[in-house]
Amino acid sequence: MKVFLNKKIPQVGIDILEENNLEIITSEIENPSHREWLENCKKADLLLNVGKNKYDKEFFDACPNIKAIALFSVGFDQVDISEATKRKIPIGNTPDVLSKATSDVAFLLMQMVSRKVNYNIEKIKSGKWKDFDALEELGQELYGKTLGIFGLGRIGFEMAEKCKAAFGMNIIYHNRSQNEQAGKELGAKYVTFDELIEESDIISIHANYTPEQADLFNKAVFEKMKPNLIFINTARGGFHNEKDLLQALKSGIIWGAGLDATNPEPMDKDNPLIELPNVCVLPHIGSATIEARNGMAKLAAENIVAFAKNEKMPTCVNPEVYDN
């Protein structure tokens, strides 16, 4: 079988594909156009996808040759899962292997925002570090605060565990269902969405994104939050309305924001959010560690190999495709 790999991945993934006698197709152009990308897809049986390429009805109609897709990501919002399932095309993702790395970035952003780290670094760079000022751009402490997790899955649990251990935080969360492990081990309390946004001192998003949740965190929601609220998004930028977030920060409705996911992405270099002293933005580096990316490459390749061997993918987001 032929596998189209649209971007480079760590060698461990390549080795697994080659050891299992799969033919790897790569683009001859570093940044191919959509048409060129599609032409490569038409040459393959399987796809190992890195990035935001969209897999919808139009794609599947154009590429009836595609039998399975392995995503180099946990998120699968770029795939029309119902359409793939209808066509018996399994979709693999890479959960677990990046949970620690991504939660580390959420934890990092929370601390950077709480102490206005970006602002203070820029103060040094611009030569504005002057005499001691007891009132200049003060941060806030995190001890004993309430952390609200939106989407308490693997990554959200890791974030909650860190915050509980480091700062003795109270943990509340909103999920599609209750997380019994979090309740037992962290004393985490399940709350409604309204309770989450009204009671939290920090809100951290860790849910899987769906189009129905676009702009979920908007003007009306920000206005219900505490004025000391730190908003963290390391999931998908689509969860928040960036114009509403900017206004909430500038007007003091909420206290600060840390983003590893922006809307749109990449963020424009002139985006006014970047200039605010109470904001920290990172270029979606949640999984950017050697260990996490190696793990992602290994798992994505194993999903491909399993399909090629007529076996179930180890991590399949639509396992119903295997039902008779």
Ramachandran assignment for 284, one of left (phi > 0), alpha (psi -120 to 50 degrees), beta (any other): left
Per the residue annotation, which of 174, 284, 293, 302 is the catalytic one? Answer: 284
CB atoms within 10 A of CB 222: 22
Rounded to whole angstroms, the Cα distance separating 48 from 23 reads 12
Q: Does residue 39 have an active-site annotation?
A: no
Per the residue annotation, which of 39, 195, 199, 265 is the catalytic one? Answer: 265
Q: Does residue 236 have an active-site annotation?
A: yes
Residue 131 CA: distances (Å) to CA of 37, 136, 139, 155: 56, 11, 18, 42
Cβ neighbours for 11, distance < 8 A, ≥ 6 positions apart:
297
- Take residue 61 and report the two structure tokens written for it: 């109609």
Per the residue annotation, which of 236, 240, 242, 293 is the catalytic one? Answer: 236
If you ran DSSP here, which 8-state letter would residue 94 be given?
Answer: -
User: Which helix (H) or strand (E) element contains residue 76?
Assistant: none
Q: Under a CB-based contact definition with an 8 Å cutoff, are residues 139 and 114 in contact? A: yes
Rounded to whole angstroms, the Cα distance separating 18 from 145 reads 50
Question: Is the CA virtual torsion 27, 50, 93, 263 positive or negative?
Answer: negative
Hey, which residues are catalytic here?
236, 265, 284
